[in-house]
Structure 1
């Protein structure tokens, strides 16, 4: 028996059916009730697997009709209402992930970062700047500041092997996240790193994350508008 959690096993089953062509694009997959009975699990477990695949862009729900296999977007895509390991997101699309660690250092909080992290001016913080790529093409420039008090080993990590999201999720389990998105024309340095054309719009995601009542990190995530999109789905 697989050691993977049940919802992961169900996700893998659905993905296999899609990859093998049993459920082509536009095909309605088995209902939650049918999958519940097939795997002898709770409906909540099945729902979790399907929600994850909807978030990954592989499935889409159609009210009163069911859940269908979705045509894969040409753009890289991340869920706006969730925070995920970008390396796994890229792999889930069948692409190759890589990154360039541009900066990784210990520093002191200036007025702007002190306000964003809720710390005293001059407090110890860690800063990392990483360019994430999909098939060698830049899709995100991540600039992140971390409260050194709550994540003291952040500075010791090798971010060519583990992403900041992966490390923080494991060591400072996320309980709350704040997102703000805006479209900007980025400066020349950021545009060159992201290999963007002149005056190409850039999607900038401002993110702050908490673990219990501790504000752990604040980040600026830059994305080339022509190659990236943020999505969300709210069930009412």
Structure 2
């Protein structure tokens, strides 16, 4: 028996099954309870091994269905240094896009919102919450604040037919973007919207966009870490 920690032995066992082809892409692996019995260890030990492989992109948890072998190609992907319409991204991958509008309303900017949009307290602001789906699986939960002065028709849009990105790009041509990305522990609201598993990581993209010298929009874009990745390409002279 190896002297390595038990969770690493279990991780190696699962990884060997994947690498050998015994468990191909799309295969549902042995359940945590079965692995607990097989290795005579605690559920926590098995869970640690599986979490590591999920984080490495080799396994994917599907709530109420189980844990499946996957590849990095199974993850939806967006460019980090560019802004693209998520509906077009999904269609480009040969998948079916849909969305659910949770909230679409007018607000007066409080201190937090005023800071996000660089406006005075009490300024008219539009706000929307939208869940974006790829093949009926949620891949992005979008919270967006928009300066009403620059996009007066925002609340009149049907965002199940057109995305906020598409509308804003047509009416406020993009001139600059600001991005920050971080891995977070999602709160219950975000976890429910994205159908995240108990230990599934969450990726948060904080984005602000300008049209000429006007700060038009600020958005928080949440993604399931095991089903989504961001990429960038930089050309060096």
TM-score by length of 2: 0.69
Equivalences for residues 5-84 of structure 1 within 5 A: 73-84=73-84
Aligned to 1:177, the other structure's residue is in SS state: strand
Task: Please list every run of at least 4 consecutive aligned residues from structure 1 whose deviation after the TM superposition is greater than 3 angstroms.
Answer: none
For structure 1, the 5+ residue unaligned runs are: 1-70
Give the Cα separation in 2 of the matches to 1:126 and 1:120. 14
Q: RMSD of aligned C-alpha atoms?
A: 1.1
- Cα distance, 1:75 vs. partner? 0.1
Structure-2 residue corresponding to 1:202? 202
In structure 2, C-alpha distance between the alignment counterparts of 1:128 and 1:165, rounded to whole Å: 12
Name the residue aligned to 1:128: 128
Measure the CA separation in 1 of the matches of 2:133 and 2:162. Answer: 14
Q: Aligned residue for 2:178?
A: 178
Q: Secondary structure at the match of 1:73?
A: helix
CA distance in 2, matches of 1:107, 1:132: 23
**1:72 offset after TM fit, Å?**
7.8
Q: Write the distance in 1 (CA, Å) between the matches of 2:130 and 2:204.
A: 15
Aligned length, in residue pairs: 166
Distance verdict in 2 for CA 1:91–1:72, change over 3 Å: farther
> 1:199, CA displacement in angstroms?
2.8
Seen in structure 2, the aligned counterparts of structure 1 residues 85 and 197 have a Cα distance that, compared at 3 Å, is same
In 1: Cα distance, 2:112 partner to 2:198 partner: 28
Q: Tell me which residue corresponds to 1:91.
A: 91
Q: Compare CA radii of gyration and give the structure with the larger one.
A: 2
Aligned to 2:138: 138
5+ long unaligned stretches in structure 2: 1-70
Q: Write the deviation string for residues 87-116 of structure 1: whole angstroms up to 9, x where unpaired.
A: 000000000000100000011111011011
